[in-house]
Structures are given as C-alpha cells and as structure tokens.
Structure 1
C-alpha cells in the first residue's frame, strides 16, 4: 500500500495542504504557525512578484529568508516562479492545494473580493479563509454567496482576531442573555517595527479621521513614517468600520449599531498598550443586567491571535467542504477546530 492507503486503513486523515497568499508580516507568521502543525502542511506561498509551490511541502524558514533577502518567494530554488500574475498562475498550477489563507492587504477595498473571483473563474474547488476587517468588504463577499456555492468553494470570512476570535467569543457569551444590549471590542497591538506589517498599518490608518482606504493606500513609506513621528508611533482608533458588526447581526445576535470596535496600535513597542478584550452586555431571563468580559493574554501577539483562528476556521471549512457544504460563512456562525 502507498502512504495515503496506509493512512486511510488506519483512519488517519492526510494533512491538509495549505497555500498562503501574501507573504508580508502576517503571511510569514502563518508559515511559522504551519511549521509546527502535523494536520496541515504549507505547500504554496505567493507575493506580488512570484510564488513557490511544491506538493511535498515548503520549508517555512527558507521561504522567509528568501523573501526578506530577495523580495519574493519566487526566487526560492527550485520551487519558485517569478511573475507579476502570481495569484492567478499559482491557482492554475497548484492543483493539490486544499485551502488557502488570504493573508493579503485589502487595499483597495474590493481586493479580497476580486481574488475570490479569480478562484471562482479558475474552476478550483476547496476552502478559502480571510482575516478581513471592513464591514463593506465582508458585505461584498456575502453578496457572492451563490457564486461561491456554484463553484464548490467553502469561504470562511472574518476569521482573524477581530473580526474572528473576539466575534466568536461574543457569539458564545451572548448565550447567557435573553437580550443583547451592546458588544464592545477593544484591542491593543504592539509591534517593534511597523515595516514588518506595512499593509496592516496602512489599513489601520485608513480607519483614522481624515483618511480613507484610497488615501492610506497611496501613502508612501516616508509619509507613513511622518505620521507615526507625529503620534509617537501610536495609532488610536475609535468607532472603526469593522465587520464584527455585520457578522453578529447576520448570526441573529445583535443589531450592528450596538457593536463598537476600537483600539490602540503601538508601532514602536512590542508590548501591548492595553489588553485586547470583548465585553458583551445584556439582560438575562431573570431581568438582570450583566457584562461578560473575555480578555486575551498580553503575551499573545497579533499574529498568534490572527493566524491561529484562521487555520482553525480553515480546518472547520474543510469539514464542511467534505460534506458538500459550499458558500460563505463567518466566524460568528461556525466554531473553529483546533489544528494539531
């Protein structure tokens, strides 16, 4: 018997073959997370200038070293390919990838939706997961539900930290109440160097007063540096357009106008400026008003709180896909499954 037949006879599922689109700070962290898993294996990675793919599995550290030294995983020997159509060509050539984590900047605001369209057009079938932020971006994907169903794609959206982990916590905590009054999500992010997460920081800037997705996307690195110099490296974000609201509304838990998201990002200090938490306030069936608070440990990084849930939802998506359940689902609808 070949190895796959042996696994089947022992009722052991083969490792889920995973691709990571985007290889900046988040994509590299995703590769490191996968390196410690046995139920998932990194077989594909793509950035703006190229991609690397091998069915045998990529070495995460080699990918990271190549990207940071030469600017693209496309330079990785012998599995890399340099191209300015990296996503499209990877989808076409990598026929054994079970699921992709879209660790991509959603700049412009329809970028993730356009990537989803590429998968639909290609005829690929499998699971996609994103850690998208904006309500309007998630709504674009929700509008593609029937297209995704027809294409045989199971899409898990809003599956990072917030939206994602904290949205799911709110959905679970809501069960104590007969009525939800408000959901407040507050995050603290600390990173030593903003350049490791350029796209993420630009997305955060887009939420600030006087800025938009378009203006943030057009900012040069020097302009971002100048803004951060003015704020001592700290971004304070309030009443953000965050998809936790539409996700909790869609799940029938609370109206979106009762959900608020905000936080502080320190781009010059790895220590979190405040503890990330979600507070769910409601009325119990006895008429008592109470608040549940779920606090993330300060030692967990943004990358840990995004990538872990993303792959947990990818695993859950694989179970749905195997059962022939396609379309789009959010972190508030499906429980993630722990990836060993």
Structure 2
C-alpha cells in the first residue's frame, strides 16, 4: 500500500483553496506546503486549509499565517530552498503571462528538487513550451503531468478512452458550462477565460484591473461565451495519437454571477468503426459538480499516478491523455 503522499500547492486563489479543502478530507494525501505570490506556509504534519484561507482573506497571503507562514518576494524559490519534503506539487497557478508555467517548471529543475508536478494548464502554446523541457525534466528526476484539470484533463482522458471504439476519430467536441457565484473568488481563472474572447489576448487580460473586469462582465450580463478556444486538449489528443488537433474544438459558457451551470459540460467523440459505421460517444458531467471539483479532483488523481511512476523511476513529461488518474481515498 502506498504511503501517505505529502502534497504542496502552488497558488492559493480559488482553485488552490478548493484543492486544500479537498485534501482535508483525503486519507491518502496530506497538504504540507502552500505558496502564493506573497509568501509560503509549511508544516510537516499538515496545514489547516481554513487557517490559510483566513490569512489570505485578512492579509492577502498564506505567508501571513502567524504560526506557519513566511512572507517572501520569491515564494516558490524560497519554499524550495527550505527543502520541504513534499512528494509532489499541484500547480494551481494562473498561466499569466503565457510563459509563466514553463518558468515555474524551470525553477523546479534548477533547484535540484526531485518529485512530481501536475498542472491544470489551458493553452496549447503553453503546453508546447513545457514539452521543450522534457529532456531537462528527465535529467532533473522530475515527473511532470500536464493538462490535469477538467478540460484539458478529465474530458481529454474521457475522449481518449471513448476513441477506442473507432478505427478513426472524426471529431472531438468539448463544451463546458461553469457557474460561480462571485468572479472575484476566481480572479485569475476568469482573466484566463477573458483572454480567449475575440479582441482580447493574454497580455490584455492580465493588464485589466478588477474594475475593468467588472465593467466587461456588466456589459455581458456576467456571461463569458467562448468559442474555438486555443485549448490544449487538441495537442494532448494529437500527441496521444487519437486525432489531429484540427479535429478538436473547445468552447463553453462561464456564468460569473450564478453557481448554477449555464449548460452541461460534456465531450462528444465522433468516429468511424471498423464496420464502416459513424457513431458518437457522449460523456456528460453532472451539473452538481463544481468547476473546482472537476479540476482539483482529477489533478490530485493524476498527482497520485505521477507518484507511482516517479517511484518506478519514470521521469519526464506526460499528459492527461496518456495516463489514467488514480483515485485518491
């Protein structure tokens, strides 16, 4: 039986805090480290998610927890310099700018740390940057699993599994619905979605003030309608040999003022069977599961799978379309 996995979280916004709450009810994993843009917190026997969230709400960072927090200008590097015994990290970070996740990976590579990293990255171009680091990750003894959220992630894996019925996959259509009661709880995630809107870019979305984001949402009634997104499901399915990236499309609707999903999240895989018939498999997520549940659950499951691989000596980079996540009890 696998020993308890010691987990670190990088990023303590909406997704990071949700992952911490999820870890609090797990028996096979324990949260020992967390970092955000202003500091970090560490305790070998486990961190209290509620206390960290209180530090964030009162002072803006986990680094201001009076018992376990450390303010820092370069918190990720500072945390790694402490040689915290974490088996793996969930990078619950916004990829703003678009080079950010690759730069975080380089920080781990140069630190001498060995273990498992998983992300919930979205953009194809960001994954392409990470793929160039494959030799460096392997030499560093790091097992990296990319695209481990909901999409890419849970739905990408479902598409890879559904494809097995077919001799040829003709199309993969991912449609998501996200409902959140207050966009300010997921500032970075919402900005990443805004970057996909026509006329916007990662740089423009990153530069927007909260007031400008609120003004945009006022104009759209709180809804962000996203079509033909640059979403890494395409490159992940292509690399896994499922279909060319041009056959993958991703879009959806984000309601920033209502926790109820505006539409059901699903993936439709259409293909041709060996008998020459054309058919479609559809996998639909329950409307009751939140964005946080559908992102953080798979991310932790892929982290557990990555730990198994790392302990067998497999280092480098893989994706959610190439591995099966392991359920974390």
- Partners in 2 of 1:322 and 1:230 — Cα distance? 51
Alpha carbons 1:157, 1:329 under 8 Å: kept: yes
Give yes or no for the alignment of 1:19 onto 2:12: no
Partner of 1:162: 151
Distance 2:77 2:32 in 1: 16
Residue 304 of structure 2: aligned partner: 315
- 1:111-122 map, 5 Å: 111-122=100-111
Equivalent in the alignment of 2:219: 230
> Among residues 112, 119, 133, which one is paired with 1:130 in the alignment?
119
Aligned mate of 1:91, from 57, 80, 84:
80
Is 1:59 matched up with 2:48? yes
Q: 2:254 aligns with which of 265, 279, 288?
A: 265
Q: Which segments of 5 or more consecutive residues in structure 1 lack a partner in the other structure?
A: 1-11
Alignment partner, residue 75 of structure 1: 64
Runs of 4+ in 1 over 3 A off after TM superposition: none
Aligned match for 2:175, one of 180, 183, 186: 186
Residues 90-122 of structure 1 show CA distances to partners (whole Å, capped at 9, x for unaligned) of: 111143011000000000000000000000000
Tell me which residue corresponds to 1:139: 128
TM-score (norm 2): 0.99
Helix, strand or coil at the partner of 1:262: strand
Q: Deviations over 1:22-76 (max 9, x none)?
A: 0000000000010010110000011111110011110111111111121111111
For 1:300, the equivalent position in structure 2 comes to 289
Distance 2:84 2:178 in 1: 37
Separation in 2 of the partners of 1:191 and 1:74?
Answer: 27
Residue 14 of structure 1 and its aligned partner are, at CA, apart by 2.4
Contact 1:192 1:269 in 2 (8 A): yes
Cα displacement (A) at 1:79: 1.1
**How many Å apart are 1:77 and its aligned residue?**
2.3
| 2:138 paired residue among 140, 146, 149 | 149
Structure 2: distance between partners of 1:91 and 1:163 = 27
Output the CA distance in 2 between the equivalents of 1:191 and 1:164: 20
Tell me how far 1:13 sits from its aligned partner: 3.1
Tell me the alpha carbon deviations over residues 155-183 of structure 1, each in whole angstroms, 9 at most, x when there is no partner. 00000000000000000000000110000
Output one character per residue of 1:233-281: Cα deviation in whole Å (capped at 9) or x when no partner: 0000000000000000000000000000000000000000000000000
